């Protein structure tokens, strides 16, 4: 084998190696760690059915779960919470993509869908289990929530003091299955409840017409 033949053979061997390497790279499956980031936010706005409906409509929200938070009893049932003796309040836990919707935006939506002036109640539902609140998951959420409440206190479009709590997240207990996605599973009953509770009318009194 002369020098030229040897050189050509080495060249093709190198080319085949590079080609195989490129093909292998192209066939490498996506890195599981490259999935979109998911963050959590937790809000208490009275009836968790209604708050689920609100956040299900927000672009960037990936899931909502109705549940209980802020109480003393482990694994509480709806019957226990609704008695008002466990210390829990009804909450919705929201999972969202921070690249598509900010926590500040979620907080803004929260305010616009509650009555911040009602203590231990929301609309037609009364008791500590319906108190409104923001449960922050980290210091950044706390800062955003508190700044938002302060700004609202200065420029609120309604009379009455803001009594909504801002507290650190605690153990979250998912509500029973029949409560999840209630507005989708039982639309007629849900609309009857929401209308009878006067939620839309009170929100308009507080904030004006949607979009105004």
Residues belonging to the active site:
47
Question: Is 98 in contact with 61 (CB distance < 8 Å)?
Answer: no
For residue 100, what are the CA distances in angstroms to 36, 96, 106, 151, 211?
A: 10, 8, 11, 24, 21
Report, in this order, helix, strand and coil percent for the chain, each rounded to 5: 45, 15, 35
DSSP state of 159: S
DSSP state of 95: E
Residue 63: count of CB within 10 angstroms of its CB: 12
Any idea which residue has 């979009």 for tokens?
211
The token pair at 76 is 């509480």
| H or E segment to which residue 64 belongs | strand 61-69
For residue 1, what are the CA distances in angstroms to 5, 7, 11?
A: 6, 10, 15
């Amino acid at each position: 084998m002369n020098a030229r033949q040897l050189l050509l053979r080495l060249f093709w061997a190198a080319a085949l190696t590079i080609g195989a390497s490129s093909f292998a790279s192209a066939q490498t499956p996506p890195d599981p760690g490259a999935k979109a980031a998911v963050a959590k936010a937790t809000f208490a706005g009275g009836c968790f059915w209604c708050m689920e409906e609100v956040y299900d409509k927000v672009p960037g929200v990936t899931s909502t779960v109705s549940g209980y938070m802020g109480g003393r009893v482990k694994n509480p049932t709806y019957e226990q919470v609704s008695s008002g003796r466990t210390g829990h309040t009804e909450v919705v836990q929201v999972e969202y993509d921070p690249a598509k919707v900010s926590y500040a935006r979620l907080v803004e939506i929260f305010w616009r869908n509650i009555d911040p002036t009602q203590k231990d109640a929301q609309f037609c539902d009364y008791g500590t289990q319906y108190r409104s609140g923001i449960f922050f998951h980290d210091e950044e959420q706390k800062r955003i929530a508190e700044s938002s409440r302060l700004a609202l206190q200065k420029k609120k479009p309604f009379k009455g003091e803001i009594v909504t709590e801002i507290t650190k997240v605690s153990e979250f207990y998912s509500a029973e299955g029949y409560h999840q996605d209630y507005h989708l599973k039982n639309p007629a009953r849900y609309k009857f409840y929401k209308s009878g509770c006067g939620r839309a009318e009170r929100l308009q009194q507080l904030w004006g017409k949607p979009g105004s």
